[in-house]
Amino acid sequence: MWVLRHVNPNLPGNPLPPCAFHALTGFWCPGCGMTRALHALIHGDVLLAFHMNPLGMLMLPALPAMLFWSWGWQPRVLQPVMRWLMDPRVWLAVIPAYWLLRNLPWAPFSWMAPPG
């Protein structure tokens, strides 16, 4: 997190590596924009973070919940949501769909791709 606080991934010549998939193909992978999104989030810009990688930002609060759930902390109030989040079939559909849709060049899908 220190690196993301002090190194701006948006500036040319930064030491952070670019996405290899995007560099080779020109298409956005599901993780493209996450470094810039986390940089924006650390600096308090939630809207920019969401613009860089919408699925990643939606998953950020879900990942710790999924981890605690798998460790046995299972509050009843979260059961309906966690049943859905913990189902691998959901992710086998959501991630490829997101990958495909964020590479479509027209609205409303083009907003899913990070700028640049």
For residues 22 and 18, give the distance between their C-alpha atoms in angstroms, rounded to a whole number: 8
Tens of each residue's pLDDT in the chain, 116 residues = 677 778 888 888 888 888 999 999 999 999 999 999 999 999 999 999 999 999 999 999 999 999 999 999 999 998 999 999 999 999 999 999 999 999 999 998 999 999 87
Domain count, the chain: 1
Q: Could you list the residue range(s) of the whole structural domain that residue 21 is in?
A: 2-112
Q: Which two tokens stand for residue 72?
A: 């046995």
For residues 44 and 68, give the distance between their C-alpha atoms in angstroms, rounded to a whole number: 26
